[in-house]
Structure 1
Amino acid sequence: MNRNDTTARIAHVFSGTLMHSTPRAAVEILHNCVLGVDDKGKIAFIENHRDVVSLSEKWGFETSDIKQLGQYEFLMPGMVDTHIHASQYSYTGTALDLPLLEWLNTYTFPVEAKYKDLDFANNVYTKVVRRTLKNGTTTACYFATIHTDASLVLGELADRFGQRALVGKVCMDCNSAVPQYKESPSECKEETDRFIKELLKKEYTNVKPVVTPRFAPSCSSSLLSELGEIAKNNKLHVQSHISENKEEVELVKTLFPGCRSYTDVYLKHNLLTERTVMAHGCHLTDEELELFRETGSAISHCPNSNISICSGMLNVRNVLNHKVKLGLGTDVAGGYSPSMLDAMRRTLDTSKALTIQDPQHKTLSFEEVFRLATLGGSEALSLDDQIGNFVVGKDFDALRVNICVPDGPIDLFPGEAPKVILEKFLNLGDDRNITEVYVAGRQVVPFPDK
């Protein structure tokens, strides 16, 4: 698996156990491996440790520079949060007592209106980027707010701390209970154009804009059409929400009577593309899932939020059976945890609850959920040619995991195999076990002192 181009300088070399997913294997464990990362942040080689001397001669690194992983350490791909509201982080862990539409008007819109204050925005956005990176989120698909300048601050912070991010300036022109928290269609188009232009002008390597209609109930048909055109003309990602709870689905029927379904609303406005990710999808029909498959659009499964505000339970197995791309999302702050480990655990809980309701339902395995949080997330964001697993030529987005950190949350016992260690980390681990985080070859955690 060596790369033909050996002119690049090697920046990192790791030796030990690698755990990742492939399209064929939900978990593949590579023992006694040597992995090299070049100075462009790409994986240069993955070989057996017995070849380390010849590798060092070929690639020009010193064997003394190798980072040796311990017996209870491993590398895994960075986790991909396909749906998170950075602007809601300030009230994470609270305000989970109302259903979706009341929740938005009572808590979300009043808080998001505060982001016209750039000091407030900088404070919250700094904390959410640092917190998610510490918890192993190397890629985040962020909702910001309607405020262009504050949304640009989020992009700047993601770049500064080294997180790979899609950042969306929220677009909404109707149905807000907070009068100051919406824009006219013309304002929204102008500010979205400005946001995209300004963010692209920064030329951040790993931070890009994403077209972000909040969801169909808060957008007029004309605005949705404008956003569809903007996404097409700029070849950008699209993110929004769909079929989160039943009341919302019924509201969409009344607001868009000419559309056959919630999915049809986005389809008719050219917002379902192979770069689209839609959060939730709890109440999508099989016919709607077929439209997702045909367009190449993806679903972000947000189980913590779905349960916390009693929206519904997505049948992930059914989505996968329809061959629809699917990743996991924390959906802060509807979801009370910014950790993708929590998203994996809640995904398993939801799948088991569906099996309790219907014994014929095939419960997801922890291996499948591991894939959804890594390779699946990269597929959902159409970034799987760059990230998601350990393949020569891909960017090195990775976590160094240590099961035996001092005073950590996991106890080990003699004879436990690597897959058992992985399962324990997914079920019991936390940010203490994630000792190093890399994005495109750059070590971003621990954070530099400055």
Structure 2
Amino acid sequence: MDTVQHVFKGTFVHSTKRGDMEVLENHILATDMKGKILFLEDAQSQARLAQKWGFDDSKIEELGKNEFFMPGMVDTHIHAPQYSFIGTGMERPLLEWLQYTTFPTENIYSDVEVAKTLYNSVVRRTLKNGTTTACYFGTIHTDASIVLADIASQYGQRAFIGKVCMDTNDVYPKYVESTEESIKETTRFIEALKKKKYDRVKPIVTPRFAVSCSEKLLSDLGQLAEENQLHIQSHISESLAEIDEVLRLFPDYKNYTEVYGRNKLLTHKTVMAHGCYLSNEELLVFKEKGAALSHCPNSNISLCSGHLDVRNVLKHKVKLGLGTDIAGGYSISLLDSIRKAIETSKIIFMEKQKKQVEGNEIDTFQKMKIETNAINSNAKNEIVEKEASYKVLSINEAFWLATLGGSEALSIDHIVGNFQVNKEFDALRINLEALNSPFEVFSDISKEEMVQRFLFLGDDRNITAVYVAGRRVMPLPSNA
């Protein structure tokens, strides 16, 4: 009986720890029949490995010189039903956007046929763009959320599916449920997914956010998650108006984080989206609880919500991943999240630099030095550390956030996130010279430059194959 499913030879790129991008040229990787990585070694060991694992040269699939494998990307925050209006309605701030765009649209998912059509599209599209793991918000509709789970499993995507819970909605009363109904239907949803026994699709307890949930609902959901040992997802400190509303609704709590923490909703299996305005005190609570944040830079900018200071989050050793947050964000690709995360970090750097200049905290010579060298990354980082005590997020760190960091945020880094032996092979095959590539390669470049070129300029056209647990899930068969 064969023990080897795939054997690939070429360049493999992954993170082994935060900010450390490892580029392995001329290596050979194999997966077993369950999709786990058997080995990743220098190709000089090919003969020995072939003898040990019982494969011959005909089994090896060799990558081209401008190709490489990277881990599948992990979207730690995405609203599946909002895909239908992605790229529209973002002229409003968060709470108005929910009232006039989001809630009316999500309400139509009471129709399961509507859900089937849209969810089929969103799962295919995310996979095509390299999202091998997605942490989905559904709607308040249980049956539609089960459909989303069915479709994710059918296409082979690794996913956490949340039936949204909300028993308060003053701005759009048509889209709400009672506290009792929310708990009852969430329980039904959890039991339905348990019975299906999906390999890689799991339920996740999903209070929308504190503004739309009563204290009793939050408490009951925390208890439900604890009893079933489930993951939890929600939003926190996305905008200033939202924070004000939370503090008005929950006057007995000292901050937004405590609203979730006292109701058992902050655990090592929790991921909270945004966190733009979390205080250092709140970040310490996140670290203590083992809870994670999902950084959604496109949405934060598009809805004028705020900026997350990633450097400060990492300094507090809080788990962190990236999210597209469609349709608050207008791109379904985590490549966009990588780019926007770096840009946001640069914006924060410039804001800090401006404050220092205005506050006369650095002299004119130092100011000129910063401005003159801002385009040089090495000089810039040196200056930032020395003069502004702030280091711009690097491309290596952003790559980590989209892969291993995301898996850590979802507490599945023992399963996926990089090409460590015994982890499942969630991977993207990248070709810089793919048909209709959005950019050109004019000469031989280093493998490190290849990776940077793709991360900054590439798109789904460069992703020629997507694997989840060793199974090729994209491109789809022609009859799918």
Q: TM-score, normalised by structure 1?
A: 0.97
Output one character per residue of 1:149-208: Cα deviation in whole Å (capped at 9) or x when no partner.
000000000000010000000000002422221110000000000000001110010000
Matched residue, 1:426: 455
Q: Give per-residue Cα distances to partners, 1:360-419, cap 9 Å, x unaligned.
A: 231001111000000000000000000000000000000000001122112223341111
- Identify the match of residue 186 of structure 2 among 181, 189, 192: 192
Which residue is equivalent to 1:210?
Answer: 204
| Contact 1:214–1:241, Cα closer than 8 Å, also in 2 | yes
How far did residue 48 of structure 1 move? Answer: 1.3
2:280 corresponds to 1:286: yes
- 1:355 Cα shift? 1.0
Q: How many residues align?
A: 444
Distance 1:277 1:294 in 2: 14
Q: Which residue of 1 aligns with 2:378?
A: none
2:427 paired with 1:398: yes
- Which residue of 1 is the match for residue 150 of structure 2? 156
Measured after TM superposition, the shift of residue 53 of structure 1 is: 1.8
1:412 lines up with 2:441 in the alignment: yes
Name the CA distance, whole Å, in 1 between partners of 2:19 and 2:52.
31
Task: Supply the distance in 1 between the matched residues of 2:303 and 2:2 (Cα, whole angstroms).
Answer: 50
Identify which of 372, 385, 407 aligns with 2:414.
Answer: 385
Report the CA distance between 1:356 and its aligned residue. 1.1
1:40–1:440 contact (8 Å) kept in structure 2: yes
Confirm whether residue 179 of structure 1 aligns to residue 173 of structure 2: yes
1:265 and 2:294 aligned = no
CA RMSD of aligned residues (A): 1.0
Which residue of 2 is the match for residue 117 of structure 1? Answer: 111
Would you say the 8 A contact 1:435–1:446 is kept in 2? yes
Q: Distance in 1 between matches of 2:66 and 2:439?
A: 11
In the alignment, the residues of structure 1 paired with residue 286 and residue 276 of structure 2 have an alpha-carbon distance, to the nearest angstrom, of 14
Deviation at 1:125, TM superposition (A): 0.4
Q: CA deviation at 1:9?
A: 1.1
Which residue of the other structure, out of 30, 34, 44, is the alignment partner of 1:40? 34
Secondary structure of the corresponding residue to residue 406 of structure 2 = helix
**Which of 54, 57, 62 is the equivalent residue of 2:48?**
54
Quick one: which amino acid aligns to residue 364 of structure 1?
Answer: L
Any idea what the Cα deviations from partners look like across 1:121-146, whole Å, max 9, x if unmatched?
01110110000000000000000000
Q: Which of the residues 338, 341, 344 maps onto 1:344?
A: 338
Computing the radius of gyration from Cα coordinates, the structure with the larger value is 2
Query: 1:62 offset after TM fit, Å?
Result: 2.0
Distance 2:144 2:108 in 1: 10
**Aligned residue in 1 for 2:101:** 107
Secondary structure of the corresponding residue to residue 37 of structure 1: strand
Cα-to-partner distance string for 1:93-114 (whole Å, 9 max, x where unaligned): 1110101111101010000000
Amino acid at match of 2:445: E
d(CA) in 2 for partners of 1:440, 1:8: 17
Greater CA drift, 296-305 or 58-67: 58-67
Give distance in 2, aligned partners of 1:200 and 1:335: 31
**1:332 has 2:326 as partner:** yes
**Secondary structure of 2:103 counterpart:** helix
- CA distance 1:331–1:45, change in 2 (3 Å): same
Find the residue that maps to 2:440 and give its secondary structure: coil
CA distance in structure 2 between the aligned counterparts of 1:346 and 1:140, rounded to whole angstroms: 19
Residue from 10, 13, 25 that aligns with 1:16: 10
Match of residue 385 from structure 2: none
1:304 aligns to what? 298
CA distance in 2, matches of 1:158, 1:357: 41
Distance in 1 separating the partners of 2:48 and 2:57: 10
2: CA distance, partners of 1:258 / 1:387 = 40
Q: Give distance in 1, aligned partners of 2:437 and 2:33.
A: 33
Q: Residue 243 of structure 1 aligns to which amino acid in structure 2?
A: S
Aligned-pair distance for 1:25? 5.2
Amino acid at match of 2:291: S
Q: Deviations over 1:307-352 (max 9, x none)?
A: 0000001100000000000000000000000000001011011011
Separation in 1, partners of 2:140, 2:169: 14
Identify unmatched segments of 5+ residues in structure 2. 354-387
Q: Secondary structure at the match of 1:414?
A: coil
- Rounded to whole Å, the distance in 2 between the matches of 1:378 and 1:349 is 23
- Check whether the contact 2:128–2:466 (CA below 8 A) recurs between aligned residues: yes
Return the letter of the residue paired with 1:101.
L
CA contact (8 A) 2:18 2:397 kept: no
SS in 1 for 2:16: coil
Q: Tell me which residue corresponds to 1:366.
A: 395
**Quick check: 1:12–1:36 contact (8 Å CA) kept in 2?**
yes
1:39-87 residue CA offsets vs partner (Å, 9 max, x unmatched): 0010011111111122112111121111101000000000000000001
Q: Is the 8 A contact 1:53 1:63 kept in 2?
A: no
State whether residues 52 and 63 of structure 1, in contact with CA within 8 Å, keep that contact through their aligned partners in structure 2.
no
Secondary structure at the counterpart of residue 358 of structure 1 = helix
Q: In the alignment, is the contact (CA less than 8 A) between 1:172 and 1:183 conserved in 2?
A: yes
Between the aligned partners of 1:375 and 1:202, the Cα distance in structure 2 is: 28
Identify unmatched segments of 5+ residues in structure 1: 1-6
2:46 partner letter: V
| Aligned-residue offset at 1:24 | 5.8
Aligned partner of 1:3 in structure 2 is none
Three-state SS of the structure 2 residue aligned to 1:46 is strand
The alignment partner of 1:44 has SS state of strand
Corresponding residue SS for 2:294: strand
State the SS of the aligned residue for 1:27: strand
Who is 2:472 aligned against?
443
